Amino acid sequence: MNKSTGYPGCSDFSAEKISLDLKNGDRFIIFSGSLPRLKNNNARELGLAGIIRYIENCKLTRGELIDSLLAYAYNYTGRVERRKDLSVVSFTISGKG
Domain ranges of the chain: 1-97
Write phi, then psi, for 5 (nearest 5 degrees).
Answer: -130, 150
pLDDT 10s digits, 17-73: 778 888 888 888 888 888 999 999 999 999 999 999 999 898 888 889 999 999 999
CATH 3.60.40.10 matches 1-97: yes
Write phi, then psi, for 17 (nearest 5 degrees).
Answer: -65, 135
pLDDT 10s digits, 5-21: 555 555 555 667 778 88
pTM of the model: 0.70
